[in-house]
Structure 1
Amino acid sequence: MAAAAAGERALDLYAGAGLFSAYLADAVGPDGSVLSVEGSAAASAHASTNLAAYAGVQVVAGDVATVLGELAAPADVVVLDPPRAGAKREVVAEVLRRSPRAVALVACDPAALARDVALFREAGWDLAALRGFDLFPMTHHVECVALLSPVEPGVPRS
């Protein structure tokens, strides 16, 4: 959804073993960069192994909010795949501080997604697209992917 392009800088937050990081690395190519951040040391170790063949990929193990607060990592595109509780205000603020052109927000809990989208909307961002995936048939669980983008001056919000 975020359509990362060659040469861009991407953040993959709550990256796990690097699934989205690999796709981002392919999209941004050797002239771009990907910062993969995951709180689980074991998952980050797997991400380091999984992403070793990609140039321009940095894997960092640590709390996402803390890592973002300590690093001045710029971003054109962000993939945000937080735990069930959502990204929450501190992480959203750190993402916004980088002024990306697009954020793909993955959520396994629609209520947490709504809370996080509201934080982006407070900052003048818009929900540009939303897609639900029934990955767990016959249950109430729905995986959602939202595309968020900054509202252009003079363009009405949707």
Structure 2
Amino acid sequence: MNVRTLRLVFALTSCLFAHVVVAQTNRPQAGNATMQTLGLWTSTAGGRPAAAPYVRIAQLDVDPRHLEEFTAALQEIASTSMREEPGVFTLYAVSLKENPHRFQVFEMYKDEAAYNAHRETAHFQKFFETTRKMVTSRTFLDVDPVVLGAKAYWEHSDH
């Protein structure tokens, strides 16, 4: 694993993501926007180990000729998984600026059973079959969560 990948893994696991462990609170922002604070998860709670979510990071290299098609499939699987699977907590996908055909996908599940159930769903099977020939390389990193924290922010329409 190269230094760039290690830095990305560190950044993803230490800064960007959260397991909801406290009540969600909505905070009004300027205009129509609302910020929802999700919470902070740490590997210890009150001096005891906390139940850890199951986290994986996937690195996918995609044939550059299929980037648009792959991105559409990725958006569909993420949207469907978040909407239909209560054990799927987080799915974040980013592409590297200097290498836009390389994707890093941060996945967080309630537990390993939820991850395994996700892989058996019809929408995951569709994604896998649809993208099988687009993806030229797959690398999966098994990681242990240490600290996970995030704020969700999105714009709301007045209409």
User: Does the pair score TM above 0.5?
Assistant: no
Length-normalised TM-score, structure 2? 0.25
Which has the higher Rg, Structure 1 or Structure 2? Answer: 2
Length-normalised TM-score, structure 1? 0.25
Higher relative contact order (CA 8 A, sep 6+): 2
**Which protein has the bigger strand share?**
2
